[in-house]
Amino acid sequence: MKYLLIILLALIPACNQTVVKKCQHEISKSKYSSYQEVGELLKTQSQGLSSETIYVVFAADYCGACKKLFRLLKDAGIEKEVVFIDIEKTWGFLFSREMNVSNVPSLAIINSNKTIQVREGLNDVLMYLVTHTGKKNRIELIQGVK
């Protein structure tokens, strides 16, 4: 019993280092944008420095449809053109309410002339993004999504 306790105590620091490294990796690979990133993007657009349309997807980790949407967008190579916001964070929730979003997943399309359109639901969001982000050759990903 004494030797078992010594072995377990020796393994604990190694396990903690592994957990810390894994957590750091997951933080750096997060699909969600930060408050600062979104603020800078909207500021650039509002100052006329960018005329690009901003695609903002409101999602949550508990939402199965959100996870599926992210996976399909990643497979299509579109996820880099979309800003993902976690509504479980206070600022994300408040921003979603400002955009009149009531469900997840939802897409807010913000044009340079300050026009905001909202699409809600997996199918509507996916169809809109695939047809409007220049990846029209990936339309086959939508087939079978219900």
DSSP string, 84-125: EEETTSHHHHHHHHHTT--SSSEEEEE-TTS-EEEEESHHHH
Per the CB < 8 A criterion, the answer to whether 116 and 99 are in contact is: yes
Q: Is the pLDDT of residue 112 over 80?
A: no
CATH class, range 31-141: alpha beta
Tell me 82's DSSP state: E
Question: Alpha helices of the chain — where are they, by DSSP H?
Answer: 2-28, 35-46, 64-76, 90-98, 122-132
pLDDT at site 146: 46
Per the CB < 8 A criterion, the answer to whether 127 and 134 are in contact is: no
Helices 122-132 and 64-76 pack at an angle, to 10 degrees, of 20
Band (pLDDT 50/70/90 cuts) for residue 25 is: very low
pLDDT at site 106: 95
The CA distance from 122 to 36, in Å, is 27
